[in-house]
Amino acid sequence: MSSEPVPPPPWRRSANKSARPHLSVATIVAAALRVMDAEGLDAVSMRRVAQDLGTGAASLYAHVRNKQELHELILEEVFRGLEVPTPDPRRWQEQLKELIGQTTRIMLARPGTAQISLQTMIPMRPGTLAAMDATLGILRCAGIPDQIADYAADALALYGTAYAYEASLWPSSEAGQAEARRRITEIEEYLSTLPADRFPHLLAMMRRPFHEENGSERFEFALDIFIAGLAKYADPGLTE
Amino acid sequence: MSSEPVPPPPWRRSANKSARPHLSVATIVAAALRVMDAEGLDAVSMRRVAQDLGTGAASLYAHVRNKQELHELILEEVFRGLEVPTPDPRRWQEQLKELIGQTTRIMLARPGTAQISLQTMIPMRPGTLAAMDATLGILRCAGIPDQIADYAADALALYGTAYAYEASLWPSSEAGQAEARRRITEIEEYLSTLPADRFPHLLAMMRRPFHEENGSERFEFALDIFIAGLAKYADPGLTE
DNA sequence: ACCTGAACACCGTTCAAGT
DNA sequence: ACCTGAACACCGTTCAAGT
């Protein structure tokens, strides 16, 4: 009457193996993306991802340095879909707008990636480097001096990322959106309570329909303004 | 031979009371700011702040709804120091630059506040509302139409905040900075390993001294470009 | 080389109980 | 009304032990 646990028969063992493939960076990133898409970036913890793979958190550390690296690998995976144009100096403004717009759309489509991008001080992987290289390419091709191109590419990437991050904070659930609208009403009531000269301009703005514009109007406007300001550094000989 | 614990004598009790004043929103926020300045925003947890006040985390919930609200109260406290100008239409560009610069400097001086600001989707407290109202004031005073002023104020605040956030990621410890430099060298080596046509523009940029500019040059440049692009919406009759 | 369970030192928030 | 300890359901990361 031994009380030792019965070991599983060998065919069970191999069945398990084929049902859940070996851990690898690829399977881990895939699981992390699944978790992020379903439950948001906050849920992409080492423990939660490991759970999705039927193992413990410690097992992931053989393939990934830490959580920050796992998040960066998600960003890289998402940016693989980026399509970069061949620079045409006469169309630099449209190309720039389209490229920054595309990176922003990619991040908006996967809420969570904008936050990773913002947290990743130094981009170190091909996907994100490709986006930066392409932006620089368009600017330099238009004859914009390197120093200016460098600063402009940095500012454009930062603004696009911050815009996507802010947009991705907007709750996706019906309940969350109702709560957000409630908070906006709350502050409108608060503003109209105050003496009229406390925040006169916010008050004046409130009389226009609040937050009613088309989703990307804000973003496009800011981009247009910045590109207009940038245009004076382009070389008219190249851009006609 | 009783084993009951001896109660503290009454004068000890009152000595304790004066040494650690009653909890209040003000004392909690002050403690939170102390923790943030000393150990960064990540350390500003309910438990850590409560510990600093000699109590348990649960006690804070009588004064503060949750951690997010505590963070917002830190932001509010920090923005109390903001000085807003009286708009002068002929100096709107300088005033705008100075105001956005000031908000950004405030956030840079207290690493952690930029992250809170970015996470606080809807600003709901006097300090942050004052900054937005002042920005709108300068723009409207220059004759910029309300819709444009709204978008521009939004973009300027977002860029300033994102810039401060990115800057605040830069490690403050000597060891952290060395590590960051090591990572930059790593990616430079990686780039020069690749075929020259993979990231040609990043490679070209690398030959210029990397990250060597004055701290706020990038920021000022982006602001100037945006304001230049904005200028065409100002009313020349007002701004001369 | 790869994987594991257990442990360590943390989280935010709730709740019944006390004053 | 305010405060408390304990509990619940989580974290990231390390490490000795297994295969």
**Res B60: pLDDT:** 98
Spatial CA neighbour of B36 closest among B64, B66, B77 = B77
SS (H, E, C) chain B: CCCCCCCCCHHHHHHHHHHCCCCCHHHHHHHHHHHHHHHCHHHCCHHHHHHHCCCCHHHHHHCCCCHHHHHHHHHHHHHCCCCCCCCCHHHHHHHHHHHHHHHHHHHHHCCCHHHHHHHCCCCCCHHHHHHHHHHHHHHHHCCCCHHHHHHHHHHHHHHHHHHHHHHHHCCCCHHHHHHHHHHHHHHHHHHHHCCCCCCHHHHHHHCCCCCCCCCCHHHHHHHHHHHHHHHHHCCHHHHC
Alpha carbons B196 and B13: distance in angstroms, whole number: 74
Which strand D nucleotides have any atom less than 7 A from protein CB atoms?
Answer: 1-7, 10-16
- Give the pLDDT mean for A161-171: 95
Over its length of 240 residues, how does chain B's per-residue pLDDT go in tens digits? Answer: 333 333 333 333 333 333 455 799 999 999 999 999 999 999 999 999 999 999 999 999 999 999 999 999 999 999 999 999 999 999 999 999 999 999 999 999 999 999 999 999 889 999 999 999 999 999 999 999 999 999 999 999 999 999 999 999 998 888 888 888 988 898 999 999 999 999 999 999 987 765 555 679 999 999 999 999 999 999 999 997
pLDDT digits (tens, 9 = 90+) for A53-70: 999 999 999 999 999 999
**Res B17: pLDDT:** 35
**Res B214: pLDDT:** 62
CA angle B131, A163, A48 (to 5 degrees): 115
What are phi and psi for residue B87, nearest 5 degrees? -60, 135
Q: Which residues of A touch B69 (CB under 8 A)?
A: none
- Give the pLDDT mean for A136-146: 98
Which strand C nucleotides have any atom less than 7 A from protein CB atoms?
Answer: 2-7, 10-16
**Res A4: pLDDT:** 35
CATH class of segment(s) A82-238:
mainly alpha
* Portion of chain A with pLDDT greater than 90, in percent: 77
Residue A211's pLDDT band, with cuts at 50, 70 and 90, is low
pLDDT digits (tens, 9 = 90+) for B72-124: 999 999 999 999 999 999 999 999 999 999 999 999 999 999 999 999 988 99
pLDDT above 80 (res A19): no
Query: What architecture is the A25-64 domain classified under in CATH?
Result: Orthogonal Bundle (1.10)
Conformation bin of residue A209: beta by default, left when phi > 0, alpha when psi is -120 to 50 = beta
Domain B25-64 and domain B82-238 have a common topology: no
CB-defined contacts A:B, below 8 A:
148
The beta strands (E) that lie in A107-197 are given as none
- Give the pLDDT mean for A162-184: 90
Alpha carbons A203 and A195: distance in angstroms, whole number: 10
Alpha carbons A130 and A139: distance in angstroms, whole number: 14
162-181 of A, contacting B, C-beta below 8 A: 162-163, 165-166, 169-170, 180
Residue A9's pLDDT band, with cuts at 50, 70 and 90, is very low
- Give the pLDDT mean for A159-168: 97
Which chain A residue's Cα is nearest to B190?
A124
**Res A139: pLDDT:** 98
**Res A166: pLDDT:** 96
Q: Which residues of A touch B121 (CB under 8 A)?
A: 166, 169-170, 180
**B208–A133 CB contact, under 8 Å:** no
Alpha carbons B197 and A120: distance in angstroms, whole number: 25
B74 touches strand C (CB under 7 A): no
pLDDT above 70 (res A212): no
Of residues A133, A166, A205, nearest to B199 (C-beta): A133
**Interatomic distance B117 CA / D10 C1' (Å):** 26
Nearest-neighbour CA in chain B from A208: distance (Å): 9
- Burial (CB < 10 A; 0-12, 13-18, 19+), residue A82, is middle
For chain A, the structural domain boundaries read 25-64, 82-238
Residue in the structure block whose two tokens are 């020069």: B192
B61 touches strand D (CB under 7 A): yes
